[in-house]
Chains A and B, each alone.
Chain A
Amino acid sequence: MISSIKIPPAPELTYLLRLADTCLILGQRLGEWCGHAPILEEDIALSNMALDLIGQSRALLTLAGQRSGQGYDQDQLAFLRDEIDYRNPTLVELPRGDFAFTVLRNVILATWLKLMWERLRDSSDAELAAIAGKALKEARYHQQHAADWAVRLGDGTEESRRRCETALGTLWLYTPELFEDDAVDAAATAAGLGPAWAHLHEPWVAEMSEILGEAKLAIPAESTFRSTGKRGLHSEHMGYLLAEMQHLQRAYPGGAW
């Protein structure tokens, strides 16, 4: 059994890890659909989006490893951290649910990521800016694909509409975390690394309103519930996700893959 690596508490590193882990854990969840989707075209599309997200997380984790000063590589960061050191918002780790849940989560996150990548193209960190340039094209496609499905399902049958409303009700509880600021954001903004997450809220609401409006789905009321994944305090689902994901790295010390 390999023990965990320790992550220095530098805010700029945390900023990178929050984004890297968002891509990694969402990619992990989307990968679960491969072979089990409602139609073959969606097996392919969801796997393709998972592949893009894993690719984005690899680039970001490599960068975070370089910036960590510890010489960590992408796989040490992906597989050898303790749960509390994963910095993704809780939304991405929730179980994949039904197809409505997956589609609407993808709308929420692809829209958020698209807005994030747009801004990160101007990062003071040239490597992060380059990663954002490539990832933006992917996020635009993900948003379009997910939005098309949201409209089909929201404005499809009674059942699809009901499933969308149920999914959205759950997902919406976790969206405030995508727009909360803290000292990590302040440091990142001051250094010109990237935007404070709160700055994405307004354009995100505008785009979500447009998509959900076309899907004839109402935006749920905001709850006082607050998830805390990006501070390392995750849902109960995260432990199982990590146990599965980390298993081989942990079980074969000194292994080469």
Chain B
Amino acid sequence: MYTQAMDTMREEGGDKPALRTAEEAQLQQRFDNRIDAGEFIEAKDWMPENYRKTLLRQISQHAHSEIVGMLPEGNWITRAPTLKRKAILLAKVQDEGGHGLYLYAAAETLGTSRDQMLDALHTGKAKYSSIFNYPTLTWADVGAIGWLVDGAAIMNQVPICRCSFAPYARAMVRICREESFHQRQGFDSLLVMMKQGTDAQRAMVQEAVNRWWWPCLMMFGPPDDQSPNSAQGMRWGIKRVSNDTLRQRFVDAAVQQAEVLGVSFPDPDLRWNEETQHWDYGTIDWSEFWRVVGGDGPCNRERLAARVKAWEEGEWVREAALAHARKSELKEAA
């Protein structure tokens, strides 16, 4: 879900900055050759500064997305309608915290601490995926997030398992396995309501799908011809598949799944194209995407405020843990 990081950042220039020395030129050449050969780059390897910066930005924003993403679904833990659903939701949101941990750890290998990354989030310098700036208004939103949001995330993240930066790729392998469970639980939750539930529940599901459909399509980022940084990401092996290709894959899969569920998507232009063998879809309102990215989505302020509040209220806890650790070290040294 998080190639958005690459699409919404300012241009950082190309991968060939002015080189100062012959040695650096040689390192750059060796790096390029390794990328071209499909090799993985490890944290200790030489890498161009822009590659490091781009990755740091993408991985940390991915991590922030996992952590902020705990909020909309966490909103329903205390209200889950059965104990089984409560357990599944707790496990899922806990997984997202775990994903945040792996990703912060992967990003730390690039030379920035978790505290620095969190500070960037809390001060608004770092972004997270805009999808989490939409509210969860009903229980069906939890299912819709699993099915559609996590479904879109998987579509986006599976190619990152082959990302050229090995620590990120390794983290993504594990994350994708768990995301697959997340998607299935969401779909299953909606399926039960649609097939065995009441009319009121079916209406709740359809209403949730109506709200989440278009924001989910926006998760893949702007159209390819308006995504200036994509080419650089492709060149570096950070991004493997284009925004529009991923979006089309998602639409094609989702339409079939919607048929199984018995729900519709709020798009009168959605129709099968015999020629392309894909589902055509209507025009995405990119002004909404940029508005939400820019900070004026329905929940931008609440989400950030919730994270900042948790961090500030936890400051005394972190200080106490550090103070205790120092005391223990002194005791051991004595």
Binding site for B on A (CB under 8 A): 24, 28, 31-32, 34-41, 43-44, 47-48, 50-51, 54-55, 57-58, 61, 74-75, 78-79, 98-99, 151-153, 155-157, 159-160, 163, 244-245, 247-249, 252-257
Q: Is the CB–CB distance between B87 and A58 below 8 Å?
A: yes
Q: Is the CB–CB distance between B320 and A159 below 8 Å?
A: yes
Q: Is the CB–CB distance between B316 and A157 below 8 Å?
A: yes
Asked whether B166 is an interface residue with its Cβ less than 8 Å from the other chain, the reply is no
Contacts of A58 in B (CB 8 A): 83-84, 87
Q: Is the CB–CB distance between B94 and A47 below 8 Å?
A: yes
Residues of B in contact with A, size category: 35 or more
Q: Is the CB–CB distance between A32 and B78 below 8 Å?
A: yes
Contacts of A252 in B (CB 8 A): 81, 197-198, 200-201
Q: What is the minimal beta-carbon distance from B305 to any residue of chain A, in angstroms?
A: 12
Asked whether B79 is an interface residue with its Cβ less than 8 Å from the other chain, the reply is yes
Q: What is the minimal beta-carbon distance from B74 to any residue of chain A, in angstroms?
A: 4
Of A50, A160, A249, A255, the residue contacting B320 (CB under 8 A) is: A160
Q: Which of B96-104, B221-229, B250-258, B289-297 contacts A (4 or more CB under 8 A)?
A: B96-104
Q: Is the CB–CB distance between B79 and A39 below 8 Å?
A: no
Task: Please name 5 pairs of A and B residues whose Cβ atoms are closer than 8 Å in the assembled complex, sorted by A.
Answer: A47-B90, A51-B87, A54-B83, A157-B319, A245-B79
Q: Is the interface of B mostly helix, strand, loop or mixed?
A: helix
Chain B: CB-nearest residue to A151: B324
Q: How far is the CA of A252 from the CA of B197 in the complex (A)?
A: 9
Chain B: CB-nearest residue to A54: B87
Q: How far is the CA of A238 from the CA of B97 in the complex (A)?
A: 29
Q: How far is the CA of A78 from the CA of B309 in the complex (A)?
A: 32
Asked whether B71 is an interface residue with its Cβ less than 8 Å from the other chain, the reply is yes
Asked whether B189 is an interface residue with its Cβ less than 8 Å from the other chain, the reply is yes
**Given the known A-B contacts A157-B323, A159-B320, A255-B201, are A36 and B81 also in contact in the complex, defined by CB atoms under 8 Å?**
no
Q: How far is the CA of A134 from the CA of B240 in the complex (A)?
A: 45
Q: Is the CB–CB distance between A159 and B321 below 8 Å?
A: no
Q: How far is the CA of A28 from the CA of B198 in the complex (A)?
A: 27
Contacts of B193 in A (CB 8 A): 255-257
Contacts of A249 in B (CB 8 A): 81-82
Q: A37-B314, A99-B317 provided; 18 other pairs, C-beta below 8 A? A: A36-B306, A38-B311, A43-B70, A44-B98, A50-B90, A51-B91, A58-B87, A75-B82, A79-B82, A152-B320, A153-B317, A155-B327, A159-B319, A160-B316, A244-B78, A252-B81, A252-B200, A253-B198
